[in-house]
């Protein structure tokens, strides 16, 4: 976030000592969000919930983080309260990433969705971060109306699925759904859905999913981009602004599907992952959804075989590298 008005005009959001109440900040349109996996070894050993609190110690970056390295220290550095231009209040957590050499990198973690080009006025700042449970309510999710392929090949809109319904999976044939969760959120910032237009991935209709939903792409031949032929790529990394775009504004209802194992299922006739249940994903669910999963008796999954399309692998490739080839018009 950059200050667009006030004492720190032109400066990037910094540590508490450098900030001034009343300054106005915006996220630049080309700003790139990064995903952090924060683990708490104490919580892992005891099975308790993961919290960041003032003076917390022992938190670390986990594998899959897009900044820093696994094992880097994570410590809270402050809590900021902003007022958005529409009058809503937004809180951000300042966190410090500390590498093995002691070098510190400051990051901010929105506790509510924020979006580019919207003005946020700094109202309050405090060294006391309180007790913050790290959650992600849209880790892997489909929107209302998405068609899911059932065991007999018929299509069922996801909101009509029920626990126990048998869904066709790529690797294990018909499998019963063990848990279905849903949540409605404002479609802004990282909660805005990705629209994959009809035919882009051989999907029969427009597919609308959360930004972190991973699509399954099978790479044929010797020119594949990864060590394995099976590639999982996040919807947000397919965005080109035309055939695949982020739809912001209003509200969106997300649905999560869990099976006994991490599966590749078919949404709009396109292979895509079900929700992966492990310490990381379950620890990030809001309390109510976590309780539902626990009550359903779902156990931790091994991730589906394949290569995660991370930023290193994607470097130098445009999104259309992964699109289905369209037949020329006659």
Confidence grade of residue 186 (pLDDT, cut at 50, 70, 90): confident
Confidence grade of residue 37 (pLDDT, cut at 50, 70, 90): confident
pLDDT at 114: 82
pLDDT at 248: 87
pLDDT at 61: 84
pLDDT (mean) for 295-302: 79
Sequence-distant (≥ 6) Cβ neighbours of residue 275 within 8 angstroms: 139, 140, 141, 256, 257, 258, 262, 281
- pLDDT single digits (tens) 141-166: 999 999 999 999 999 999 999 999 99
CA 14/CA 8 separation, integer angstroms: 10
Backbone angles phi, psi at 162, to 5 degrees: -130, 150
Give the residue, 64 or 262, on which the prediction is more confident: 262
CA 209/CA 215 separation, integer angstroms: 10
Confidence grade of residue 273 (pLDDT, cut at 50, 70, 90): very high
pLDDT at 42: 59
Sequence-distant (≥ 6) Cβ neighbours of residue 102 within 8 angstroms: none
pLDDT (mean) for 81-93: 89
Least confident window among 39-43, 175-179, 233-237, 323-327: 39-43
pLDDT at 136: 55
45 has pLDDT over 90: no
pLDDT at 47: 43
CA 240/CA 238 separation, integer angstroms: 6
Quote the mean pLDDT of the chain.
85
Sequence-distant (≥ 6) Cβ neighbours of residue 30 within 8 angstroms: none
pLDDT (mean) for 226-249: 90
171 has pLDDT over 70: yes
Confidence grade of residue 46 (pLDDT, cut at 50, 70, 90): very low
Confidence grade of residue 277 (pLDDT, cut at 50, 70, 90): confident
Percentage of the chain exceeding pLDDT 70: 88
pLDDT (mean) for 302-323: 82
CA 306/CA 311 separation, integer angstroms: 16
Characterize 63-79 residue by residue with b for buried, 16 or more Cβ atoms within 10 angstroms of its Cβ, and e for exposed: eebeebeeebbbbbbbb
Which whole-number Å values give the CA distances from 17 to 2, 4, 103, 237, in the listed order? 16, 18, 19, 36
Sequence-distant (≥ 6) Cβ neighbours of residue 196 within 8 angstroms: 203, 206, 207, 208, 209, 215, 235, 238, 243, 244, 270
pTM here is: 0.74
pLDDT at 125: 94
Token pair of 271, please?
């292979």
Give the residue, 139 or 22, on which the prediction is more confident: 22
Contact 129, 79 (CB under 8 A): yes
CA 265 remoteness from chain centre:
19
What dihedral do alpha carbons 217, 222, 227, 230 form, nearest 10°? 20
pLDDT at 116: 81
pLDDT at 327: 56
């Amino acid at each position: 976030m950059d200050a667009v008005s006030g004492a720190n005009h032109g400066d990037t959001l910094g540590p508490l000592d450098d900030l001034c109440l009343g300054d106005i900040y915006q996220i630049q349109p080309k700003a790139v969000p990064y995903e952090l996996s924060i683990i708490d070894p104490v919580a892992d050993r005891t099975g308790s919930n993961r919290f960041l609190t003032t003076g917390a110690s022992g938190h670390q970056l986990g594998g899959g983080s897009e900044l820093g390295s696994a094992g880097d220290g994570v410590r809270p550095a402050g809590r900021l309260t902003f007022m958005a231009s529409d009058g809503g209040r937004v809180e951000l957590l300042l966190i410090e990433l500390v590498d093995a050499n002691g070098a510190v990198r400051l990051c901010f973690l929105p506790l509510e969705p924020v979006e580019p080009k919207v003005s946020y006025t700094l109202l309050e700042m405090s060294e006391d971060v309180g007790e913050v449970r790290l959650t992600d309510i849209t880790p892997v999710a489909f929107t209302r109306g998405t068609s899911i392929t059932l065991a007999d090949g018929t299509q069922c809109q996801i909101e009509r699925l029920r626990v126990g319904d048998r869904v066709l999976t790529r690797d294990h044939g018909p499998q019963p759904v063990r848990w279905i969760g849903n949540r409605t959120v404002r479609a802004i910032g990282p909660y805005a859905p990705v629209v994959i237009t009809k035919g882009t991935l051989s999907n029969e209709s427009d597919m609308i999913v959360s930004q972190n939903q991973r699509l399954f792409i099978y790479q044929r031949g010797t020119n594949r981009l990864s060590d394995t032929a099976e590639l999982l790529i996040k919807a947000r990394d397919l965005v080109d602004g035309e055939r695949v775009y982020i739809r912001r504004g209003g509200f969106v209802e997300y649905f999560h599907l869990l099976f006994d194992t991490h599966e590749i299922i078919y949404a709009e006739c396109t292979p895509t992952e079900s929700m992966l249940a492990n310490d990381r994903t379950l620890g990030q669910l809001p309390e109510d959804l976590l309780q539902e999963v626990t009550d359903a008796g779902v156990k931790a999954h091994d991730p589906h075989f394949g290569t995660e399309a991370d930023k290193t692998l994607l470097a130098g490739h445009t999104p259309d590298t992964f699109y289905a080839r369209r037949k020329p018009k006659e």
